[in-house]
Amino acid sequence: MSINHVTPGPTLEGGPGSGAQARAGARKRAIASVSTSAKAREMAAQARAKADRAEADNRRKANLEVSSRTAATAKAAGTGARHGSLRNAGLSLLSFLSPLLLLVLWEALARAGLIDVRLFSAPSLIFKSLIPLVTSGELLLHTLVSVQRIIIGFLIGSGAGVILGLSMGLFPPVRAALQPMVAATFPIPKLAIMPLILLVFGLGETSKVVTIAVGVFYLVLINTMAGVLNIEPIYLDVAKSFGASRKDFYLTVALPGALPMIFAGFKLGMGTALLLIVAAELSAARAGVGYMIWRAYDMFDIERMFVGLLDMSALGYIFAIALDWIERLAIPWKS
């Protein structure tokens, strides 16, 4: 019996050789993928580093720009402050020199004969009359008497004006009842009612104080009422919501809100008090700056009369400075 020779057939695709090749290809592809991922990560890291460097450069440039702007602003502020201080110094110097220039011009016109010294005198002659009045104490006596009357009358009139002005500003019924009388009596010249004041209060100190108090009262009253009416309604509503009492309305809402206008009334009232004190001392007085001015007029002592007028102007300046100082203390937020 013969044995047939069998020739081996071709290898199938799913055989062992094909699996090895597939695994080798997969490894190559995996290695290539890992290499590609590593390169991508490296490129991403380089891109991030580049972006970080660019951001750091931009931040550094921005800081340099801010620093330069700050330096420029500080330099400009310093220059502005120096210019402002120089300007303020110049204005202060001008305020100091302008009265002196007026006196120099007055003296020059008097010496040149361009004005009648019998009527207008001259600063040098007025100064000669001032010295004995100061050394003898007479000028100080008259000044203190007038200042006492001014302060007492001012305090009475301004106190009443503030209280009534706050009430008229806060409560419409009070305003409706009193505003017509205020509007009707305010235009009456206070000098016109001096005879009535003398009849009621006599010829003593009371009549002079009342004259000043009446003149101050109306100005402070009107300004105080206007200040309360100008307060924003929301502040009044908040006070009502928190159950504020009438005392709280007066002291914590109306008074602080109206203080700027109140001090404006004080300044106007002080000017009026200085005007009225001279008129009040012209009659039935034995001392005071107004009395001194009137006696100098009677004796045609022009230099003595000008001393009294200059004394009143000095008092006005001192009272104005005092009120400005008190206003800065009472209203720090205004400045």
Kindly indicate the confidence band of residue 98, based on its pLDDT and cuts at 50, 70 and 90: confident
Conformational region of residue 113, where left means phi above 0, alpha means psi within -120 to 50, and beta covers everything else = left
| 45-67 residue pLDDT tens | 777 777 777 777 777 777 777 66
- Distance between CA atoms of residues 335 and 332, nearest Å: 6
**Count of other CB atoms within 10 angstroms of residue 180:** 10
| Burial environment of residue 191 by CB neighbours within 10 A (0 to 12, 13 to 18, 19 or more) | middle
- Distance between CA atoms of residues 322 and 154, nearest Å: 14
Kindly indicate the confidence band of residue 32, based on its pLDDT and cuts at 50, 70 and 90: low
User: Per mean pLDDT, which of 82-86, 189-193, 283-287 is the most reliable?
Assistant: 189-193
The dihedrals phi and psi of 171, each to the nearest 5 degrees, come to: -120, 110
| 146-204 residue pLDDT tens | 999 999 999 999 999 999 999 998 888 999 999 999 999 999 888 888 888 888 888 88
Fold of 125-330: MetI-like fold (1.10.3720)
